[in-house]
Structure 1
Amino acid sequence: MYKFTNRNLHRDFAYFYVGLIIAFSFSGIILNHRQDWYPMDYAYESEEVSLAMVTNTSDFSKEQIESFSKDWDVEYDGHRVRDNTLRVYYKNNVILDVDMSTGEGVLEHKRKVPFIGHTMFLHKSTNSFWIWYSDIFGAAMLLIAITGILIPNGKNGFKSRGWKFAVAGILFPLLFLILYA
């Protein structure tokens, strides 16, 4: 017969979610440093390209882009212009970056980095099932945290000294939000 105690709930939920805790922790750290290193995908094939472009415009149509892309066997999926660079997204994870002042660019075929890229995909997913599962995971993390602080008793318990660490742990992100948000 299962006995519902803080220790048992804490232990069993932690066992169940340990894989997701590791995956989310790992991918969260990587996402924090994505400006330096973004392993969601990597270029396995690159080709330098030179395009004759209208350089005085940042307004490109789908048809214009498809016309200069016709020789590459790619299917248009969207584009954006930022800092004088045209980025074109094609299906099957192909990206073109072109310097609009020179027409020089790089066409890259990308693949997801094994394991790391997949954990990041889970971290950023907008699939409705995964969002619900992640919400349940968030509630489970609250349960793990609350049951975890209630397990110790005596001089190392929450009432004696644990609350001081908890307050410090809550104040740190609040202070960060106040100073930097």
Structure 2
Amino acid sequence: MPKIRWRKWNNILHRDIGYLVVALTVAYCISGIAVNHINDWNPNYRITKEFISIPPIHAESRDEIVAQARASLRLEKEPRNAFRPDPSTLQLFFEDKTVSIDLPTGNVLIERATPRRVLFEMNQLHLNRPKKLWTYIADLYALALLVVSVTGLFVLKGKNGITGRGAWLTAIGFVIPIVYWIYYISF
């Protein structure tokens, strides 16, 4: 009976599945870095701010205030919503912008959000916003990464493989998140 050459099949699996997951791995890595820094910037939208002035608004009712604001700003479209976070501020929400007005001074901030092309789409996939079929694709991708990780342990043999240097590097890879988690829950 011929000897099964498991290492050959291990390396073939590692190589071929690795090729299959390259594009998604790159997308998830870029998206992961972007989303990890969500407190520093908006990874999905580029926000542009414009400051202008209009005459102060002294109307009483919300509808009158909104009407005066729209007239002063020459806004033809109805806002999707209008909100007064405090007595001196009016916010108008449109599909493509948000308008914040300081009523006593007439100072206006217009914020426009435009999607960051490609990064927006990568983030949507990474965060599983599409749901449905994408959930199963993401699950298959996770299983493929698991296979690539495990088969990668056995690609090399000898002092650079899992019985040598690879064992130490693998152990360090396990220790880093464990130590961090112990530290994190301790404080």
After TM superposition, the score normalised by the length of structure 1 is: 0.70
Q: CA RMSD in A?
A: 3.9
CA contact 1:41–1:110 (8 Å) conserved in 2: yes
Q: Deviations over 1:109-155 (max 9, x none)?
A: 32212222222222223222222211211111111100111111111
Q: Deviations over 1:58-90 (max 9, x none)?
A: xxxxxx69x8386462553798x7xxx987764
Superposed displacement of residue 28, structure 1: 0.8
Which of 168, 172, 177 matches 2:176? Answer: 172
Structure 2 match to 1:113:
116
How many residue pairs get aligned? The number is: 168
Matched letter for residue 175 of structure 2: L
Superposed displacement of residue 177, structure 1: 1.7
> Over alpha carbons, which structure has the higher Rg?
2
Summarize the alignment of residues 58-73 of structure 1 with structure 2, pairs less than 5 Å apart: 68=66, 71=75, 73=77
Superposed displacement of residue 95, structure 1: 3.5
In structure 2, distance between residues paired with 1:170 and 1:101: 59
Matched letter for residue 171 of structure 2: V
1:151 aligns with 2:151: no
1:29 aligns with 2:28: no
1:8 aligns with 2:36: no
Matched letter for residue 136 of structure 1: L
| Residues 86 and 17 of structure 1: CA distance in aligned 2, closer, same or farther (over 3 Å) | farther
Structure 2 match to 1:58:
none
| Residues 175 and 75 of structure 1: CA distance in aligned 2, closer, same or farther (over 3 Å) | farther
Structure 2 match to 1:17:
21
1:140 aligns with 2:140: no
The answer for unaligned runs of 5 or more in structure 2 is 1-5
Percent identical among aligned pairs is 25
The answer for unaligned runs of 5 or more in structure 1 is 54-63
Structure 2 match to 1:127:
130
| Residues 101 and 145 of structure 1: CA distance in aligned 2, closer, same or farther (over 3 Å) | farther
Superposed displacement of residue 157, structure 1: 1.2
Which of 77, 86, 97 matches 1:94? Answer: 97
Superposed displacement of residue 22, structure 1: 0.6
SS at match of 1:158: coil
| Residues 145 and 45 of structure 1: CA distance in aligned 2, closer, same or farther (over 3 Å) | same
| Residues 47 and 102 of structure 1: CA distance in aligned 2, closer, same or farther (over 3 Å) | closer
After TM superposition, the score normalised by the length of structure 2 is: 0.68
CA contact 1:94–1:109 (8 Å) conserved in 2: yes
